[in-house]
Amino acid sequence: MSEHLTQAPLSPGLRQRLRELSDQHQEQLLAERRAFHAKPELGWQEVETTAAIVEALVASGYDVVSGPAFLGEVERRGLSDDPIPGEGDTGCIALFDTGRPGPTVCMRVDIDALPITEAGGNHAPAAQGFASTVPGVMHACGHDGHAAIGLAVARIVKPLLETGRGRLKLLFQPAEEGGRGGRAVSDAGWMDDVDLFFAIHLGLGVPSDTAAFAVHGLLANARYEVRLTGREAHAGKTPEAGRSALLAACQIALGLHAMAQSSRPGIRVNVGLLTAGTAVNIVPGEATLTFEMRAQETEDLEALDKRCVDFVQATARAHGCEVSMTRGGSAEGYANPAPVAAWAERVNADVGAFATILPSLFFGASEDAGTLARRVAARGGQGGIFVLGADLADHHHTPHFDFDEGALSKSALLGAGLIASAMQVEG
């Protein structure tokens, strides 16, 4: 770890104080999780979510940067075709400077939801009255819990920071889904002075009262939208006069999936969307498809990216179609350094948050916290992404997703303990 970061255990008095403060905020933590769950917002559109977070942070005594000032003029990938007011200027960062020399510590939580219709019936949020009120949108990955945990951590550590050292950043990141917001936050420079960065994620198959700190296998990913333009023609009388964008798209979809044949770890390609055509008797003149690529190592993703782009362009030419490719969101691969994992495990033991620690966890998916962690590491800092166990009602990104709310207070206690340790809070 950085020479500025303490490895000393928390004092018994500070451990007790952290637990007392955590207990004080449990009821509000649960209420905020359910409020966020009931009003989910898609990435870059988290307008009401951000407003609620900013209000809470200001009330807790933090300086908060939000709105256009948060990300400035950096590129925001994946904005909607018809943006709503405030779209792209969501998310925020809370700041507190102790005035004493020490590390800059950043905790990151994400706040966006997914385009999924939430289940009803005996699904716990529906049965208990906090299901999504937004048609076709729900929190199906736990980001409602992450946002609430972030606010609880802010409240727990604030009265303790007067005896701490360094500077705290609490990042409430927009547009994690699709790997968009992390890149924008990084490009805006918010990680450039960070000595220690950490992010949390609930669930992911880790059972309740269990945590994973030695996390590896966060997959790098990238995605493209491909637009093909051919030539329409009568499908019966003169099909030879046409250039089928649909056939080109189908050939591309099949070929892209073949690109995943590799002995390198984590190589995956998926075509998730394909639309084409206007009528059954017309050679389709236009087609659109979207695909993503993943790899365990960022360098492998870069090689895969080039192969896929070359294949798409060559196949389009072979079918006589014009092609344009628009790069979407992306995330970088990451694995937690051993010293960061050991530090988090030690702090967890000090505060008594999670009873069981997994010796190792392969993440097996993408998380754009990896982009932020790599940015910090590239500048000499350290970063970690920790998976905090919560039994799930169903898999992530499904209509019946829900998590054990008992993980909320444990996660907030741990997050506060990590900050207190890194900022050398006295107690």
Look at the block and give the residue holding tokens 């993408």. 366
**CA 127 to each of CA 41, 132, 135: distance values in angstroms, whole numbers, following the listed order:** 21, 12, 17
* 174 CB-near residues (< 8 Å, 6+ apart): 43, 44, 46, 50, 90, 91, 110, 111, 112, 181
Orientation angle between helical segments 338-351 and 406-422, nearest 10 degrees: 110
Q: List the Cα angle 275/277/278 in 5-degree steps.
A: 125
d(CA 219, CA 204): 14
d(CA 114, CA 376): 28
Q: With a cut of 60, say whether residue 341 has pLDDT above it.
A: yes
Domains and CATH numbers, the chain: 12-218+334-422 (3.40.630.10), 220-330 (3.30.70.360)
pLDDT-derived band at 6 (thresholds 50, 70, 90) equals: low
Q: What is the pLDDT of residue 8?
A: 66
Q: What is the pLDDT of residue 16?
A: 96
Q: With a cut of 70, say whether residue 3 has pLDDT above it.
A: no
Per-residue pLDDT tens digits for 97-140 = 999 999 999 999 999 999 999 999 999 999 999 999 999 999 99
Q: What is the pLDDT of residue 427?
A: 76
d(CA 332, CA 296): 9
Per-residue pLDDT tens digits for 54-112 = 999 999 999 999 999 999 999 999 899 899 999 999 999 999 999 999 999 999 999 99
Tokens of 398: 């499904």
Average pLDDT of the chain is 95
**DSSP states of 196-261 as a string?**
EEEEEEE-TTPPTTEEE-SEE-BPEEEEEEEEEE-B--BTTT-GGG-B-HHHHHHHHHHHHHHTT-
Q: What is the pLDDT of residue 307?
A: 96
Q: Rounded mean pLDDT of 309-315?
A: 98
pTM: 0.92
For residue 268, what is the DSSP state? E
Q: What is the pLDDT of residue 168?
A: 98
Per-residue pLDDT tens digits for 156-212 = 999 999 999 999 999 999 999 989 999 999 999 999 999 999 999 999 999 999 999
**DSSP states of 287-330 as a string?**
EEEEEEEEESSHHHHHHHHHHHHHHHHHHHHHTT-EEEEEEEEE
Q: What is the pLDDT of residue 1?
A: 45
Q: What is the pLDDT of residue 7?
A: 61
Lowest-confidence region among 6-20, 95-109, 115-129, 351-365: 6-20
Per-residue pLDDT tens digits for 219-259 = 999 999 999 999 999 999 999 999 999 999 999 999 999 99
Q: With a cut of 50, say whether residue 354 has pLDDT above it.
A: yes
Q: What is the pLDDT of residue 265?
A: 87
d(CA 312, CA 327): 13
Torsions phi, psi for 18 (to 5 deg):
-60, -45
